Structures are given as structure tokens and as C-alpha cells.
Structure 1
Amino acid sequence: MDLALLRTFITVHRAGSFTRAAALLGLSQPAVTSQIRTLERQLGRPLFLRQARGVTPTTTGDELAHRAAPHLDALIEIAEAGLDDESAVRTLHLAGPPEFTSVRAIPALTPLISEGLALRTSFVANAEEILEGLAAGHHDLAIATARPRGGLLTSTPLCDEEHVLVASARWAARLGPGMLRGKGSVVLEQLPVVEVHESLPFVSRYWAAVFDRRPAAAGTVIAPDLRAVLESAASGAGLAVLPRYLCESDLKSGRLVALLDPPVPPLRTYFLVVRTGTLALAHIARAHEGLLRAAVDW
């Protein structure tokens, strides 16, 4: 069996689309279609059911993918190991949320630079855009706050992020702990709100988890970067909901004050995502392992 045909088949099986597989392989869609038809003629059975949007594998297609994919990935790993020996530098294209990628991921990957890794980063706030870019082959490794669906992408939980409701010491003193315990969200909704988007994604998630309701207030300051939100809140612009890792030092120094300490703080999970099979590539596998190892202390 022609390994090129098998590689194309596995890519289509994982992508669920001839069009997406063609983009990943650097081929035209007619070329991918022709290769799949050739393989189907050789096997004497259909491998995919063509649908309006993409393709669905037949039972034969699923069986072949299950049997062949691990061996094909192993061959790619062998080939890439040889390439690593000949090439001094391999480039990793990493995508993720700007704040987490800057503060957590890039420092964790820095030790790999001395081992011949070059790093290129893309800051993307929206999780779906991150996953779409990874699926299209624009990135090698992605950090996202959504778990991907389908077989094209493989995800591993990386870490949980605790969210903290914060404000400057001036606002905290005006509220007072007794007032917060007695009236809760009613008092908080009288404060200006600092957020990353008009939809108040962080505040809404916090209100739903802690108060079981939606926030009534609108955003007063909207800044599409959590670091800008932090600085605005610390300067007295209003309350904000921030990841603890980002504001921990400001909480310790008193620039920010945690307004509440709920028994179960709201959490958000980060996932480390790759295209299925690409962990056979040594430089992606090293970065993947390095981030998982670093996340133990996050």
C-alpha cells in the first residue's frame, strides 16, 4: 500500500473534510479526492461517506484508521528524529491567550531554546479562533480554554485558573466586609466595572458561579487585555474579575484587594491542544511535555 495514500487517508479521517485535509497536506482538493478514490479502488471498499459538509468514515474507514494511524505516526517520528539530528533549529508555532501565553507559557518554554527550539507566538483571545487556526495548520501547539471536538485535534488538560473579584483598596474600604456579606451582589453592582469585552465574560462567569445570577451593571472601562484590566482596577477605575496568577503579587502588595472569598472559587480550565498525530514530531512533543511539567506548579 502506498504510504502517501495512507497519509492522505489518515489526514482526511482526522480532519473530517477533504478541504481541510488538503490545506494541512499542502495539496489541492482534487488531488486529495483522487488519492482517496485510488485507495478505495485498491481496497475494494468505500472509506468515506460524502456529505454536504465534510465526510464521515465508513466502518472500513474507521477500522483502517485505527490500525494504520499509530504506525504512520511512528514512521513520522522516526523521520523527524533524523531531521532533528541534521537541523540545528526547529521552529514551534504556539498560539494562546495573550496574558496566559506571555506570563506562563513563554517562560516555561524558554529552557528549550538552548536545545535548538525557535519559538513563534500568536496571541489570540478567542478560544474558537485558536482551535480553528490550529486545525488549519497555522499553529503547531495551542493553549485554549475550550476542549475541541472531533478527531482532528487532541487536547490534554493543562491547569485550572482561579478567578478573583478585585478592586483597589479605596473601593474595598468604601464597601466594607459587613456590607458585602449582608447585601452581596446588590452592593457590588453599584461599582464601576472593568472588563475585556462589552459582554463582561469574566464578571458574568463569576456572578453565575457565586451569585447564581447575571450582573446588572454594564462595563465602565473596556480594555481587551487582562493586564490593562488589572492596571485599571488597581488605579481605582472599578471592580474586575482577574485570574489569580495574574494579580497575586498585587494582592500581596495591597494594590488590589480581593472583595470576596467564596467557598468554591470560580475556575476555568486551560487545555493544551495539538493536531492528532503531531506529537510524533520531536520539537512539538518536547514543548508539550515542557508545558505539562511546568503546569504542575501553576
Structure 2
Amino acid sequence: MDLALLRTFVTVHRAGSFTRAATLLGLSQPTVTSQIRTLERQLGRPLFLRQARGVIPTTIGDELAHKAAPYLDALVEIAEGGLDDEFSSRTLHLAGPPEFTAERALPVLTGLTGEDGQGLALRVSFGTAEEVLEGLAAGRHDLAISTARPRGTLLTANPLCDEEHVLIAAPRWAERIDTGTLHLKGAPALERLPLIEVHESLPFVSRYWASVFDARPTASGTVIVPDLRAVLACAVAGAGLAVLPRYLCVPGLERGEIMTLHNPPVPPLRTYFLVARTGTLALPHIARAHEYLQGAAVGWD
């Protein structure tokens, strides 16, 4: 059996689409279709059922993928293993949310670039969870950091870390809030106070209100700015209350520029996932970056 045909088959199985597989393989869509038909003729069995949007594997297709994929991935690892000595010539394309990627991921990965500039080269893109996963699936990125776990077999996700969210404000606002009243009344004690958020839908505030107070915010945002670091700057300047990841707030809390308004027994958490296309962790530069990030995340609070 032709290994090229098997490679195309496994890629289609993971991608769920001839078109997407063609992009990942650098082939035309008709070529991928022809190769799958050739393999189906050789086996005498259909491997996929065609649908309006993509394909789904038959039982035979699933069985073949389960048997063949580990061996094909191992062959890629053997073939690419010799590239480890040429690590400096490799470029890693990373995508993720701007604040987390800038504050946490990039300081770790710069350790792979080398002091003399002869290490791994980095190319970074920012986007929403949907955008970075779509780009990863399409082959535009090598690794993605996402707050959503992808479905299907094309992408493989590993939990990276949990992010704690805290309710903060500048001292002048904190002084106006009675902690006892907040503890007893919950969200109503914060009504009429200005809110700073990244979007009109108040995603961070809404998640915090639902998790901690079992309520929805009744006010709209006073300041809406699509960057968590800008939200923090506005909070430090006294524009109002904000819900932010604790790691972003630590320096401001230590300097007394902002204060934590509430300390619930179970703080709201958000999980980040480190995602790669299935099989690509056989490539040394992707595997090393993946390992660096997973190792560093152990010490992230």
C-alpha cells in the first residue's frame, strides 16, 4: 500500500474535509479526492461518507485510521529527528489571546530563540479562541493557545493552566464598598458602580457575577476597551470596577494601585489549552516549544 495514499487518508480523517486536508498537505483538492478514491479501490471498501460539509469516516475508515496513524506519526518523527541539529533554522508560528500570549507564553518561548539570535524563530498572531483554532486547523499556525477545547481529531489539546479571575478597583472605589454588605447582598451591593470591560456583552463581569453571586450584571459598561491590559490601566486610573486575571493584577496589587474587592471561597477560573494539529508534535521545534510551555505552566499561579 502506498504510504502517500495513507498519509492523505489520515490527514482527511483528522481534518474531516478534503478541502482542508488539501491545504494541510499542499495538494489540490482534486488530487486528494483522487488519492482517496484510489485507496478505496485498492481496499474494496468506502472509507468516507460524503456530506454537504466535509466527510465522515465509515467504520472501515475509522479502523484503518486507528491502525495507520500511529505508524505514520512515528515515521514523521524519524524523518524529522535529524532536523534537531538544524533547530536554529526553524520558525514556530504561534497564535493565542494577546494578553496571555504576551505576558506568559512569549517570555517562556524567548528562551528558545538563543542569546545570539541563532535559536528558534518566532512568528506570533493574536486572536479569539475561534480565530486561532481555525488558523491552526488551516495550517497557518503550529501551536495555539485557546480558552476553548477543540472538537474532532484534527487538533489535539492539552490543558495548560487555570486562570483565576478577581474583582478589582482603585482604592477610592474600594473605600466606598462595605465588604460586609457585599458579602450579605452580593451583586446588588455593586449596582450603580461603573464597570470597565473588553466588550459590550461584559464577558468577564458576567462570568464572575454568575459564578460568585449567581446573578447577572444589571449595568452596562462605562468603559469598553478590547484589551485586558487597557482595562487594567483604566482601573488603576480610577474609571471603575473590573474583573481581570490575577496574574495581570499582581504588580498593581502589590503597589497599592488597585485593591481586591471580594475574595470568594471558590474564585472563578478559566482554563487555557495548548493545541497542535494531531501528529505535528513529532516535529522537533513544535515539540520543544510545547514542552517549554507545559513545563513553565506548572509554576503559574
TM-score range, shorter chain: over 0.9
Instruction: Tell me: CA distance 1:177–1:88, structure 2 relative to 1, closer, same or farther (3 Å).
Output: closer
Q: Which residue among 235, 254, 259 is the counterpart of 2:256?
A: 254
| Residues 83 and 284, structure 2, Cα contact 8 Å, conserved in 1 | no
Unpaired runs of 5+ residues, structure 2, are none
Find the counterpart in structure 2 of residue 10 from structure 1.
Answer: 10
Find the counterpart in structure 2 of residue 141 from structure 1.
Answer: 143
The residue type equivalent to 1:252 in the other structure is E
| Residues 88 and 121, structure 2, Cα contact 8 Å, conserved in 1 | no
The residue type equivalent to 1:116 in the other structure is G
Residue 59 of structure 1, CA deviation? 1.2
The residue type equivalent to 2:290 in the other structure is H
| Residues 84 and 90, structure 1, Cα contact 8 Å, conserved in 2 | no
Q: Which residue among 119, 123, 130 is the counterpart of 1:120?
A: 123
Find the counterpart in structure 2 of residue 30 from structure 1.
Answer: 30
Percent of aligned pairs with the same residue? 76
Encode CA deviations 1:103-134: one digit per residue, 9 max, x unaligned: 1000111111127311111011x211111111
The residue type equivalent to 1:47 in the other structure is L
Distance 2:149 2:226 in 1: 23
Distance 2:264 2:35 in 1: 58
The residue type equivalent to 1:131 in the other structure is L
Residue 27 of structure 1, CA deviation? 1.2
SS at match of 1:121: strand
Name the TM-score, length of structure 2 as normaliser. 0.96
* Match runs of 1:131-280 below 5 Å: 131-280=133-282
Encode CA deviations 1:48-92: one digit per residue, 9 max, x unaligned: 111111111111111111111111111111111223335632100
Name the TM-score, length of structure 1 as normaliser. 0.97
Give the length in aligned residue pairs. 297
Aligned-pair RMSD on alpha carbons? 1.1
Distance 1:265 1:43 in 2: 55
Q: Which moved more, 1:266-275 or 1:59-68?
A: 59-68
Runs of 4+ in structure 1 over 6 Å off:
none
SS at match of 2:221: coil
SS at match of 2:9: helix
Distance 1:288 1:70 in 2: 19
| Residues 145 and 272, structure 2, Cα contact 8 Å, conserved in 1 | yes
Distance 1:87 1:259 in 2: 48
Distance 1:86 1:293 in 2: 23
Find the counterpart in structure 2 of residue 42 from structure 1.
Answer: 42
Distance 2:282 2:120 in 1: 16
Find the counterpart in structure 2 of residue 59 from structure 1.
Answer: 59
The residue type equivalent to 1:202 in the other structure is F
